[in-house]
């Protein structure tokens, strides 16, 4: 049987995907590569090239529905452009793998080894590289539905999209224009820092209240004198199970002037309290923290319960013998144990609270305070973003601000995460 020269195989694969494999009679593999190659080329010719071009121009024809001119949809073009880039990146990766594969084949042929059959090779791959197989689908899903929108949003922050510039108007790339605007406009700068500082206070407070609230509840339930633990645990779980938007709407009405709380206050002869009024300030903030606690404490209680059940009770006995008080035992033994074993969860909770959209959107939407640009004094950055980009349509600016927030939060949490015990000891635990 005549074999092709090894170098030829590699060159063939370099030019046309799968050609080398076909030359070395790896039919199935070769055809698969070839098919992908053909598919990609067809895609590029039919729409890919245009999409990439469109990504840079963001459209040249302004649509006019009255005249029947189907104009360019800039935003759609950007999206399709990103998509084309993604596909191209995947194609390049595949092409590299194809060349590597061809090199491998060539090497084997050179030393005269038999080439493995398709089925056999697949089986070996499935087992040896199980992680690739297993992660392929999740990674692709996340890429398309999470990463692509994020790339899209980041790119939007470099355009003038929003305000009057919405389809059918054409959107343009404006470089760092949005960021310059944020830094040069005092209203926006002031609002940004005001909200940022409250946002941090909120995130710390909310996380702490939820965390320790849950821990306290779990400790309480863990006491020896408490019988029927399942019964007591039922109530918080009830709160856990009701969909969040329902409880939030209910709470809003509960704290309004016409709600039951004010009803009882006025019944008892006091004047009604504007819990969520425009000048409510810290009252509204505290109510937000309480409502948030109501919603999240059940989860952290479950978490703490589980952790406490894993604790080594010997430590306590030893401490009791040493005569340490209950409080001291808690501070010295329980707390460190719980905190250290839950750092990643704490970070997730912190970020979750930092970006907690629902609470103040439901409780106190539709208010703007003095000294805030399109925001109220309880709004978190994420609420402000919503006001800017969804309610008021300033999408480009909103995207730019969210990019800034994103950088702050990700740097912060990555630092904490990488320094956490849970991460450091990650490889040594077993």
Partner 1 sequence: MGKLKKMAVGVLCASMLLGCVGCGDSKETAGETIVLRILENDTAKKEGYLDALLEAFNAEYKDKGIQAVDANMDEYTDLAANGPYGYGPDVIYQANDKLMTYAEDKHILPIDVESLDCYSVTPEAAWEAFKINIDGTTYTCGIPVNIQEPMLFYRLDMMPEDWESNWDKDGNKVADFFENWNDLYAYSKYLRDTDTSANGDSQYGFMSSLNNLYLNGEFLFSYGAYVFGSNDDGTLNAADIGLSAGDAAKGLMAMKQMASLMNEGCIDDTIIMKRYEKLADGSYFCVVSTPDTYSLFIEKLALAYEAEGLSAKEAEEKAKENLMMIELPGKLPADGDLTKSSDAMTEDDWIDTVVMGGVNGYGISSYTKYKDACMEFVNFATSYEMIQTRMNTLGIAPTRSDVAEASGGVTDMIFESLSEGRIYLMPSIKAVDQIWVPAQSLMGDIAKDPYREAAGELGKYVTIGQLEEAIEKVDQDIYDAIFTLKD
Partner 2 sequence: MSKKIDSVVTHMILIAVCLVFVFPILWLVLASFSKSGSIYDIDGFFPSEFSFNSYHKLFVDTAMYDYPNWLQNTLYVAFFSSLIGTVLVILTAYTISRFTFKSRKMLMKSTLVLSMFPSFMGMTAVYLMMVNFGLINQLWSLILIYAAGAPMGYLVQKGYFDTISNTIYEAARIDGASNFTIFVKVTLPLAKPMLVYTALTQFAWPWSDFILPNLLLKNKDLWTVAVGLTHLGETEFTRFAAGAVFIAVPIVALYFALSRFLVVGVSQGAVKE
Return the residues of window 97-126 that contact partner 2 according to CB under 8 A.
126
Contact call for residues 379 and 360 (beta carbons, < 8 A): yes
In whole angstroms, the minimum distance from the beta carbon of 84 to partner 1 comes to 9
Structure tokens at 408: 């702050």
Distance separating alpha carbons of residues 247 and 200, to the nearest angstrom: 25
Q: Is residue 92 near partner 2 by the rule CB under 8 A?
A: no
Q: Is residue 49 near partner 2 by the rule CB under 8 A?
A: no
- Find out whether the peptide bond into 7 is cis, omega within 30 degrees of 0: no
Q: Name which of 99 and 250 has its Cβ closer to partner 2.
A: 250
The angle at the Cα of 268, spanning 265 to 269, to the nearest 5 degrees, equals 95
* DSSP-derived secondary structure letter, 203: H
Nearest to 414 by CA among 355, 337, 344, 338: 344
From the list partner 2, partner 1, none, pick the one residue 336 interacts with, judged by a Cβ distance below 5 to 8 Å according to partner type.
none
Write the Ramachandran bin of 18: left for phi over 0, alpha for psi from -120 to 50, otherwise beta: left
Q: Which of 239, 277, 302, 409 binds partner 1 (CB under 8 A)?
A: 277
From the list partner 1, partner 2, none, pick the one residue 416 interacts with, judged by a Cβ distance below 5 to 8 Å according to partner type.
none
Q: Which of residues 119-158 bind partner 2 (CB under 8 A)?
A: 126-127, 130-131, 134-135, 137-139, 141-142, 144-150, 152-153, 156
Q: Name which of 31 and 135 has its Cβ closer to partner 2.
A: 135
Distance separating alpha carbons of residues 10 and 13, to the nearest angstrom: 5
Contact call for residues 315 and 333 (beta carbons, < 8 A): yes
Number of Cβ within a 10 Å radius of residue 389? 22
In whole angstroms, the minimum distance from the beta carbon of 305 to partner 2 comes to 6
Binding residues with partner 2: total (CB under 8 A): 101
Distance separating alpha carbons of residues 169 and 396, to the nearest angstrom: 14
Q: Is residue 41 near partner 1 by the rule CB under 8 A?
A: no
For the chain, helix, strand, coil in percent to 5 are 75, 0, 25
Q: Is residue 366 near partner 1 by the rule CB under 8 A?
A: yes
Q: Which of 133, 226, 407, 411 binds partner 1 (CB under 8 A)?
A: 133
Q: Is residue 57 near partner 2 by the rule CB under 8 A?
A: no
From the list partner 1, partner 2, none, pick the one residue 360 interacts with, judged by a Cβ distance below 5 to 8 Å according to partner type.
none
Q: Which of residues 188-227 bind partner 2 (CB under 8 A)?
A: 217, 220-221, 223, 225-226
Q: Which of 50, 57, 88, 348 binds partner 2 (CB under 8 A)?
A: 348
Q: Is residue 395 near partner 2 by the rule CB under 8 A?
A: yes
Q: Is residue 163 near partner 1 by the rule CB under 8 A?
A: yes
Distance separating alpha carbons of residues 427 and 424, to the nearest angstrom: 7
384 CB-contact burial (10 Å; exposed 0-12 / middle 13-18 / buried 19+):
buried
Q: Name which of 393 and 409 has its Cβ closer to partner 1.
A: 393
From the list partner 2, partner 1, none, pick the one residue 429 interacts with, judged by a Cβ distance below 5 to 8 Å according to partner type.
partner 2
At residue 383, φ and ψ (nearest 5 deg) are -70, -40
| 3 state DSSP class of 159 | strand
From the list partner 2, partner 1, none, pick the one residue 87 interacts with, judged by a Cβ distance below 5 to 8 Å according to partner type.
partner 1
In whole angstroms, the minimum distance from the beta carbon of 351 to partner 1 comes to 28
Q: Name which of 93 and 226 has its Cβ closer to partner 1.
A: 93
Q: Name which of 113 and 328 has its Cβ closer to partner 2.
A: 328
From the list partner 1, partner 2, none, pick the one residue 341 interacts with, judged by a Cβ distance below 5 to 8 Å according to partner type.
partner 2
* DSSP-derived secondary structure letter, 389: I
Structure tokens at 293: 């606690």
Q: Is residue 287 near partner 2 by the rule CB under 8 A?
A: no
92 CB-contact burial (10 Å; exposed 0-12 / middle 13-18 / buried 19+):
exposed
Distance separating alpha carbons of residues 120 and 116, to the nearest angstrom: 6
Structure tokens at 141: 């899903």
In whole angstroms, the minimum distance from the beta carbon of 96 to partner 2 comes to 15
Residue with the two structure tokens 């049987």: 1
* DSSP-derived secondary structure letter, 374: S
Q: Is residue 122 near partner 1 by the rule CB under 8 A?
A: yes
* DSSP-derived secondary structure letter, 269: T
Q: Name which of 186 and 271 has its Cβ closer to partner 2.
A: 271
Q: Is residue 136 near partner 1 by the rule CB under 8 A?
A: yes
Structure tokens at 309: 């059940």
Binding residues with partner 1: total (CB under 8 A): 76
From the list partner 2, partner 1, none, pick the one residue 299 interacts with, judged by a Cβ distance below 5 to 8 Å according to partner type.
partner 2
Q: Is residue 6 near partner 2 by the rule CB under 8 A?
A: no
Q: Which of residues 262-281 bind partner 2 (CB under 8 A)?
A: 263-264, 267
């Amino acid at each position: 049987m005549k074999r092709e020269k090894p170098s030829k195989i590699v060159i063939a694969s370099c030019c046309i995907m799968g050609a080398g494999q076909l030359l070395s009679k790896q039919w199935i593999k070769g055809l698969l590569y070839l098919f992908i190659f053909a598919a990609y080329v067809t895609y590029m010719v039919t729409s890919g090239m245009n999409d990439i071009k469109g990504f840079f121009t963001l459209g040249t024809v302004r649509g006019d529905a009255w005249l029947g001119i189907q104009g360019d949809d800039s935003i759609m073009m950007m999206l399709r452009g990103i998509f084309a880039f993604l596909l191209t990146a995947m194609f390049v990766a595949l092409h590299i793998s194809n060349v590597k594969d061809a090199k491998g084949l060539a090497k084997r042929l050179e030393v005269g080894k038999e080439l493995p059959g398709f089925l056999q090779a697949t089986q070996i791959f499935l087992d040896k590289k199980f992680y690739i197989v297993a992660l392929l689908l999740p990674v692709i899903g996340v890429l398309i539905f999470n990463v692509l929108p994020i790339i899209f949003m980041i790119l939007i922050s470099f355009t003038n999209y929003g305000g009057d510039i919405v389809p059918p108007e054409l959107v343009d790339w404006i470089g760092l224009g949005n960021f310059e605007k944020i830094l040069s406009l005092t209203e926006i700068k002031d609002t940004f820092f005001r909200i940022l500082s409250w946002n941090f206070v909120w995130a710390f407070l909310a996380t702490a209240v939820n965390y320790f609230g849950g821990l306290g509840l779990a400790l309480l339930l863990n006491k020896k004198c408490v019988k029927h633990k399942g019964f007591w645990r039922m109530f918080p779980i009830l709160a856990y199970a009701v969909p969040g938007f329902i409880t939030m709407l209910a709470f809003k009405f509960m704290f309004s002037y016409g709600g039951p709380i004010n009803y009882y206050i006025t019944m008892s002869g006091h004047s009604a309290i504007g819990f969520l009024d425009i000048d409510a300030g810290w009252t509204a903030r505290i109510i937000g923290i309480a409502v948030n606690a109501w919603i999240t404490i059940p989860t952290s209680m479950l978490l703490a319960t589980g952790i406490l059940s894993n604790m080594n009770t010997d430590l306590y006995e030893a401490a009791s013998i040493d005569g340490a008080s209950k409080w001291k035992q808690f501070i010295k033994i329980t707390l460190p144990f719980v905190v250290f074993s839950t750092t990643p969860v704490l970070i997730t909770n912190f970020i979750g609270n930092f970006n907690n959209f629902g609470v103040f959107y439901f409780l106190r939407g539709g208010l703007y305070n003095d000294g805030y640009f399109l925001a109220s004094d309880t709004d978190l950055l994420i609420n402000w973003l919503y006001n800017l980009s969804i309610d008021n349509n300033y999408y480009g600016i909103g995207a730019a601000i969210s990019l800034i927030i994103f950088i702050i939060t990700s740097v912060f949490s990555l630092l904490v995460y990488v320094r956490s015990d849970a991460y450091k000891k990650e490889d040594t635990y077993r």
